[in-house]
Structure 1
Amino acid sequence: MATPTAPAGNARGAPRSLTGLVPFLKPYRARIAWSLLCLVLAALATLAFPLALRDLIDTGLVAGDRASQAMELRGHFGALFLVAVGLGVFSAARFYAVSWLGERVTADLRQAVYSHVLRQSPQFFESTQTGEVLSRLTADTTLVQTVVGSSLSMGLRNAVMGIGALGMLVWTNPYVMSVVLLAVLLVVLPAMWIGRRVRKLSRDSQDRVADSSAIAAEVLNAIPVVQSYTAEQRESARFAGAAESAFSTAVQRTRARAVLVAFIIIANAALLLWGLYRGTQAVLAGEMTAGHLGQTVVYVMLLAGAVAVLGEVYGDLLRAAGATERLMELLATQSPVAEPASPLPLPHTGRGLAVDFASVQFRYPSRPDQPALADFSLTLAPGETVALVGASGAGKTTVFQLLQRFYDADAPRSGAAPSGIFLNGVNIRDLALTTLRSHIATVPQDAVIFGASALENIRYGKPDATPEEVKAAAQAAFADDFIMALPQGYDTFLGERGVRLSGGQKQRIAIARAILKNPPLLLLDEATSALDAESERMVQAALDTAMQRHTGQRTTLVIAHRLATVQNADRIVVLEHGRIVEQGTHASLLAAQGVYAQLAKLQFTA
């Protein structure tokens, strides 16, 4: 399905914003046509009721033979019952079809938004809070579901009934209805004016709800820190402030809608009573039959009811328009890391991956005045293990992020030599993102554990792996023993973010995941920096296994703060302020008495 974009030129939260749902409705044209047919038939059955009522009054209640009168009444009531049966059947069919459509479109919309967000680069999450995205996926899509699955259908049904009732009234009472039409305009125009206020407040209300959701998501993901700083009261107060702001805006929106509803009800009651008064005057003057009056009253009631429901539906449409606009904004967001138009294949040399950084320049979008990498050039031969060391902020993690294309390096200056990152001679910008990332496995500093079993967490690196392959990877990562000691072994649920595991156990799960993936390029990001001595020993052994597997075919890039963990690397590269200041073996760098020697002196002396 093509990614929709927000309709251009729309006022914020205007009903026209709902046109963004058109791409999600198109695949279900047949079901929409069926629901519209049922809707029209149900409306026609409703419009037929006053005609049957008129015949009942004018012909079934006239004085005459009681036997024939009884037969006449049976026929009229039978006709009324048939109308009711038709109304019930068509209304039920419409309700089912439209409800199904609302559920289906909402599910498609949630899936599209979620899939689109997953493809955004980290730059997107620098300016968008996770809680806000979750609010749009839940609260906003629920509003859309209400409109597509209920309100829109009710609006169309009442629009058809209102137009039909108006047509019948114009046909039977042209003079009276010329005045009624003027009265309808007097109802509609003020309602639209009040609706503009409701529309703005609806959008503001949804934004305030998203703010409170963002606060809640942030705090719940950091509960240990919040509790350790005894900040529960402060965070409760912060959330309460956001919730009160959302409540205040919602109250203003509700007040405006209440005024709209009261105006419509009062205006419609006046319209109905005026029509009834004119009709009784006509009956008394002999200008209209009682049946004709009954028919007119019912049509006026249908018209007034339709206008009242349309007013309610209009309020729902305004809220859903704001929600749709927010969802379309997400879908219209384009990641700056784009797939190549014609991706190239990655050449396989049979010797692993060669990695080449050529004069790479990079500044984070959130820090455009501060270079993260400056004229960074580094070549890794296939099968080589290279360690990146340096102080925090030197650019080590940036190298990993650029290599995986979470960001793109800055374009070279005019006249400068070609720059970029190359794998086996191919610029990574020319590789499909799936191709690039499928050849890389990362073991991060903070191991990510999903709320699933140990088996599924390791299998995340290779979804089609057999249980035997998972166990072999766990054994290679020295994780099999502690996994087997869990209550259900590999089927044990590890809890959200792996709360049931220690730091070292989480790291070994992450290493097993990378080993199972078995990539030609392995990235290790300070995988032992936060561990105790015993855990570090186990994790380091697992890392050594991961790096040595298929010797000569796996290129490894390591970030390390603890220099003792990378003394055996083929090469150590020292970074300062985004630049390479030294590189060589552990021994040669110590002998050079430069930056590395100073770092080593501080660490090893300590």
Structure 2
Amino acid sequence: MPDAVSAAPRRLSALSGLLPFLRPYRARIALAFALLCLGSATLLLVPLAFRDLVDFGFGAGGGTAAAGALDGHFLQLFALAAFWGVVVAARYYTVSWVGERVTADLRSAVYARVLGQSPEFFETLQTGEVLSRLTGDATLIQTVVGSSVSMGLRSLFQFVGGMVMLAVTSFGLFALNLGLMVGLAVPIMLVGRRLKRLSRESQDRIADASALAGEILNAMPTVQAFTQEAEEARRFAARSEAGFVSAIRRTRVRAGLTALIIAAVMGSIIFVLWIGAQQVRTGSLSTGDLAAFVLYAALVAGGAGTLAEVWGDVMRAAGAAGRLLELLHAEPAIREP
């Protein structure tokens, strides 16, 4: 591979190379962000409505007025759910459009750059590897831009907003919960770095297999003339197996990261809820506040779990973006005077 290609960025910051492709669609990205904020805020209102149901609706006495108030609370919950559904649908369409558009632009730019390279470039870089980057790597980036980033931001807002509302609901329980969760940051960061390295390795193994297949299929008359079909099938199977082993290593680490985050966060929340149940029993916390605290804790746990999965997708996309930007930044050995 040419020196210019191997010298391209390989770090997570390679994702910043996608900014020129995102910049033309700033308006749509801003709209998606506004819809994301609106949807997250709507979701955070649901536990408050449940708190009112527990404290006022179910705690009220009989009579027509109490029944009417209870019906009104349920109608509010339904209205919140319907509004949230519309906002989520609009956000999904907008983000998916941006992801598809950016991926198409990126593929076109990389392909045009490859066509401008000198013959030396094509002697050292196999056609199958270029095709693998234009298809597989670009698809990974499309998944992140068109889905994972939106899910990650939504989960981040859900996590942060849930933490804020936990503090508002019961600051004592929130402080205890926060202290337990701060200790989880270091192991998660260490595992995330290993996952990034394995993601890059996995993408390289897939590209090796695709490059070999492209090389052999382009030279099939020669392969058949020397009756090397069985040998070439064995070589491809060996590279496919190497890709499988690399992918399993990555999947094992990613699964472990997900399990670590979910188990640790849920364990912390369960312990804090046990403390809250003791406060309700002593009368220092209302039943409705504890119910709202439980729902906000569930939102925080769900957001943390989704963030773990999204972080794995971002690590894979970082490797894919680095490989595509290597082609995009490659300089031809022969330039026009």
In the alignment, structure 1 residue 54 sits paired with structure 2 residue 51:
yes
Q: Deviations over 1:273-300 (max 9, x none)?
A: 1122122111101011111011000111
Contact in 1 for aligned 2:8/2:325 (Cα 8 Å): no
Higher strand share: 1
Determine the structure 2 residue equivalent to 1:135. Answer: 132
In the alignment, structure 1 residue 112 sits paired with structure 2 residue 109:
yes
Distance (whole Å) between structure 1 residues aligned to residue 222 and residue 319 of structure 2: 36
| Count of residue pairs brought into register by the alignment | 333
RMSD: 1.6
Determine the structure 2 residue equivalent to 1:343. Answer: none
In the alignment, structure 1 residue 78 sits paired with structure 2 residue 75:
yes
Instruction: Report how far residue 37 of structure 1 moved.
Output: 0.6
In the alignment, structure 1 residue 231 sits paired with structure 2 residue 228:
yes
Runs of 4+ in 1 over 3 A off after TM superposition: none
Give the TM-score normalised by the residue count of structure 2: 0.95
Distance (whole Å) between structure 2 residues aligned to residue 75 and residue 326 of structure 1: 56
Instruction: Report how far residue 9 of structure 1 moved.
Output: 10
Amino acid at match of 1:170: A
In the alignment, structure 1 residue 153 sits paired with structure 2 residue 157:
no
Distance (whole Å) between structure 2 residues aligned to residue 109 and residue 128 of structure 1: 20
Distance (whole Å) between structure 2 residues aligned to residue 250 and residue 318 of structure 1: 13
Instruction: Report how far residue 178 of structure 1 moved.
Output: 1.7
Give the TM-score normalised by the residue count of structure 1: 0.54
Distance (whole Å) between structure 2 residues aligned to residue 9 and residue 137 of structure 1: 17
Stretch deviating more after TM superposition (138-147 or 270-279):
270-279
Distance (whole Å) between structure 2 residues aligned to residue 25 and residue 158 of structure 1: 22
Instruction: Report how far residue 222 of structure 1 moved.
Output: 1.7
Determine the structure 2 residue equivalent to 1:102. Answer: 99
Q: Deviations over 1:356-377 (max 9, x none)?
A: xxxxxxxxxxxxxxxxxxxxxx
Q: Percent identity?
A: 50
Find 2:300's aligned residue among 300, 303, 315: 303
Contact in 1 for aligned 2:262/2:304 (Cα 8 Å): no
Instruction: Report how far residue 170 of structure 1 moved.
Output: 1.5
Unaligned 5+ segments in structure 1 are: 340-428, 430-606
| CA shift in 2, pair 1:50/1:9, >3 Å | farther
Partner of 2:259, secondary structure, is helix
Contact in 1 for aligned 2:177/2:269 (Cα 8 Å): no
Determine the structure 1 residue equivalent to 2:36. Answer: 39
Higher RCO (CA < 8 A, seq sep 6+): 2
Find 1:247's aligned residue among 233, 244, 249: 244
Instruction: Report how far residue 13 of structure 1 moved.
Output: 4.1
In the alignment, structure 1 residue 144 sits paired with structure 2 residue 141:
yes
In the alignment, structure 1 residue 274 sits paired with structure 2 residue 263:
no
Distance (whole Å) between structure 1 residues aligned to residue 169 and residue 292 of structure 2: 10
Amino acid at match of 2:230: Q
Distance (whole Å) between structure 1 residues aligned to residue 231 and residue 8 of structure 2: 42
Partner of 2:183, secondary structure, is helix
Partner of 2:192, secondary structure, is helix
Distance (whole Å) between structure 1 residues aligned to residue 312 and residue 201 of structure 2: 15
Q: Deviations over 1:352-409 (max 9, x none)?
A: xxxxxxxxxxxxxxxxxxxxxxxxxxxxxxxxxxxxxxxxxxxxxxxxxxxxxxxxxx
Q: Residues 40-439 of structure 1 correspond to what in structure 2 (within 5 A)?
A: 40-339=37-336, 429=337
Contact in 1 for aligned 2:98/2:145 (Cα 8 Å): yes
Amino acid at match of 2:205: R
Contact in 1 for aligned 2:50/2:292 (Cα 8 Å): yes
Contact in 2 for aligned 1:271/1:304 (Cα 8 Å): no
Distance (whole Å) between structure 2 residues aligned to residue 13 and residue 205 of structure 1: 15
Distance (whole Å) between structure 2 residues aligned to residue 278 and residue 156 of structure 1: 31
Partner of 2:184, secondary structure, is helix
Stretch deviating more after TM superposition (255-264 or 170-179):
170-179
Distance (whole Å) between structure 2 residues aligned to residue 94 and residue 271 of structure 1: 32
Contact in 1 for aligned 2:8/2:329 (Cα 8 Å): no
Distance (whole Å) between structure 2 residues aligned to residue 131 and residue 263 of structure 1: 38
Contact in 2 for aligned 1:35/1:97 (Cα 8 Å): yes
Distance (whole Å) between structure 2 residues aligned to residue 309 and residue 246 of structure 1: 26
Distance (whole Å) between structure 2 residues aligned to residue 323 and residue 278 of structure 1: 46
Contact in 1 for aligned 2:8/2:322 (Cα 8 Å): no
Q: Deviations over 1:410-441 (max 9, x none)?
A: xxxxxxxxxxxxxxxxxxx3xxxxxxxxxxxx
